[in-house]
Chain A
Amino acid sequence: MTGLAGKSMDRKKHRIMMVSDFFYPNFGGVENHIYYLSQCLLKLGHKVVVVTHAYGNRSGVRYMTRGLKVYYVPWRPFVMQNSFPTLFPSLPIIRTILIRERITIVHGHQAFSTLCHEALMHSRTMGYRVVFTDHSLYGFSDAGSIHMNKVLQFTLADVSQAICVSHTSKENTVLRSGLPPEKVFVIPNAVDTAMFKPAVVQPSRSEIVIVVISRLVYRKGADLLVEVIPDVCRLHPNVRFIVGGDGPKRVRLEEMREKHSLQDRVEMLGAVPHAQVRSVLISGHIFLNSSLTEAFCIAILEAASCGLLTVSTRVGGVPEFWNAVLQGLIWIHFFAI
């Protein structure tokens, strides 16, 4: 997401509406992507408005850095942070926002967001140009995926362009939605290196610290962690684990810790606020990612940017940027010496 050269200033300025169920105050890959992309667009002189559902008391219009206007529409989240799928009742508010902000482009994020699908459908009906970014890989066989893929086919039938975060993700999206591949662009995610930079003083090498920061859910391979951690601790007495993050599988990890008496070797931090992720990362030597599926995995990039060695399951879009990560690591260690 680097800025373009000066000639972009001569181009027409757009008024962009980003739509997703996932935005601040939630922290995650999609949320950060929308925020950083909006900031880059604002820096280039375009106007950006974000539309999302209300989070608790946070409802109405809020302004963020550089005048980023966020509409927290007062709908309650239904399941997994998604708004209730209403189809036509969402038309009045979407239409009102599109007209009062004089929007030119509508950009929807994440296939799992019902608000995104409805906004794209209504925008396209009203004739606006529409872009869709897919952030995750999804399956084809279970009931939830089948229904969502059908909805995706409807929504993306008439989209102007689509963006995916890796070539694997592009293949997955094209197969699920039936989009022609020439309409899909691959734009990988990026990390803010000003925020994620290596520690000035490297942690001591007397013991090896392995850091894991992820949502502790099935999809992120929390069950694999439960199997792997006791074996590694048994084989290497000088290894220590730091596990950050929360989720339904946290209980399993705590049970594993109790069962193998690893309380002094496995530290559970709970949910780590985004601002403190870097300080947790730089306290370790190795970053472990055990996801079962990843379209991109920005966590690996963040860890590599902080100077950690990264170990990951070879899934989804991870192998695509692996070489770049390795080269980057060599440079980081070269400058650190």
Chain B
Amino acid sequence: MVKFSISKGRYTYTHDQKYSCENVDIHHIILKSSRANYVFVYTLAVLLLASALYLCILGEKSISIVYYSVLFDIFLVKLLLRNPVKKESVVIMPAFGVQLETHYMSGKIIRCFVPIDKILKPVLVECVTPVTCYWTLSLMIRGESEMVLVFKSLRPPVKMLVHVWKALCSATDIKEEALNTCTTNN
């Protein structure tokens, strides 16, 4: 049952409750596949092959130039059209943990589970690269110096990240309150 959904550009965010248990929260970020990428890469490959053939037949160069261009084409296609990501999900099970899933176009799913007591805090961080600057949602893990990225391949806009961040905050806060009440009772 889809509770909430927003869409911006190529990214769509949905918040749903697949399971009857009301506590389990699932947040998806879905990437709309773009045909333009494929068209561009294959056109480039065809152009490269065509120019190699031209050089070979009319320019009277050796046939090895065609072999090399075919190899280079395969390498280019593999590099630019690597296993694309279809969807990334966050399954929040409040007293248990958070499961991070990456769904690929080929049907492969990679899952990563983070126990709730390992999570110190979910944070929204600005990442600066030499060419751009973007927001990411990360989990600070107890005892580790590296943070765990919630969305590893996709870069959704910050408006969508805020909803997931709030849900993660409330899940970790509940756990902290439970811990505190346990310690005061004992």
Considering only CB atoms, which chain B residue lies closest to A71 in the complex? B128
| B36 on interface, CB distance cutoff 8 Å | no
Interface membership of B132, Cβ < 8 A: yes
B130 touches A96 (CB 8 A): no
Q: Say yes or no for B39: interface residue by CB 8 A criterion.
A: no
Contact indicator B132/A93 (Cβ below 8 Å): yes
- B132: contacting residue among A60, A72, A75, A92, CB under 8 A: A92
- A-contact 0/1 string along B124-137, CB 8 Å cutoff: 00111111110000
A312 at the interface (CB under 8 A from B): no
Cα distance A60–B123 when bound, in Å? 15
Does A100 belong to the interface (CB within 8 Å)?
yes
A74 with B133: CB separation less than 8 A = no
Q: Give the Cβ gap from B146 to chain A, nearest Cβ, in Å.
A: 14
Chain B residues lying within 8 Å of A93, measured Cβ to Cβ, are 128-133
Report the contact-size class of chain A (Cβ under 8 Å from the partner).
10 to 19
Q: Which residue of B lies closest to A75 (CB)?
A: B130
Question: How many A-B pairs fall under 8 Å by CB?
Answer: 29
Contacting residues, chain A, for B133 (C-beta < 8 A): 61, 71, 93, 96-97, 100
Complex Cα spacing A238 to B127, Å: 58
Are B126 and A96 in contact, with the CB atoms below 8 A?
Answer: no
Q: What's the nearest-Cβ distance from chain A to residue B10, in Å?
A: 18
How far apart sit A214 and B22, CA to CA, in the bound complex (Å)? Answer: 68
Q: Fill in one digit per residue for B91-135: 1 if any A CB lies within 8 Å of its CB, else 0.
A: 000000000000000000000000000000000001111111100
Whether B130 pairs with A74 at a CB distance below 8 angstroms is yes
Contacts of A60 in B (CB 8 A): 126-128
| Chain B 12-48 near chain A by CB (<8 Å), digits 1 or 0 | 0000000000000000000000000000000000000
A315 interfacial by beta-carbon distance below 8 Å: no
Binding site for B on A (CB under 8 A): 59-61, 71-75, 89, 92-93, 96-97, 100
* Chain B residues touching A, range: under 10
> Please, what's the 1-or-0 string for B48-77, where 1 marks a CB less than 8 Å from any CB in chain A?
000000000000000000000000000000
15 A-B contact pairs sorted by A residue (CB < 8 Å): A59-B128, A60-B126, A60-B128, A61-B126, A71-B128, A71-B133, A72-B128, A74-B128, A74-B130, A92-B131, A93-B132, A93-B133, A96-B132, A97-B133, A100-B133
CA distance A93 to B129 in the complex (A): 8
A residues less than 8 Å from B132 (CB atoms)? 92-93, 96
B126, B130, B132: residue with the most chain A Cβ atoms closer than 10 Å: B130
CB distance from A193 to the nearest CB of B (A): 36
Q: 10 shortest A-B CB distances, which residue pairs? A: A92-B131, A61-B126, A60-B128, A96-B133, A96-B132, A74-B130, A93-B131, A92-B132, A75-B130, A71-B128
CB distance from A68 to the nearest CB of B (A): 15
Q: How far is the CB of B53 from chain A (nearest CB, A)?
A: 34
How far in angstroms is the closest Cβ of chain B from A93?
A: 6
Nearest chain A residue, comparing its CB with the CB of B126: A61
A103 to chain B, nearest CB (A): 13
Report the Cα distance A183→B131, complex, angstroms.
Answer: 33
The residue on A at minimum CB distance from B134 is A96
CA distance A75 to B132 in the complex (A): 12
Contacts of B131 in A (CB 8 A): 89, 92-93
Q: How far is A73 from B129 in the complex, measured between Cα atoms in Å?
A: 7
Question: Separation in Å of the B138 CB from the closest CB of chain A?
Answer: 13
The residue on B at minimum CB distance from A60 is B128
A89-B131 Cα distance, complex, nearest whole Å: 8
Residues of A within 8 A of B127 (CB): 60
Residue of B nearest to A59 (CB): B128
Q: Can you name 20 extra interface pairs (CB under 8 A) apart from A61-B126, A72-B128?
A: A59-B128, A60-B126, A60-B128, A61-B128, A61-B133, A71-B133, A74-B128, A74-B129, A74-B130, A75-B130, A89-B131, A92-B132, A93-B128, A93-B129, A93-B131, A93-B132, A93-B133, A96-B133, A97-B133, A100-B133
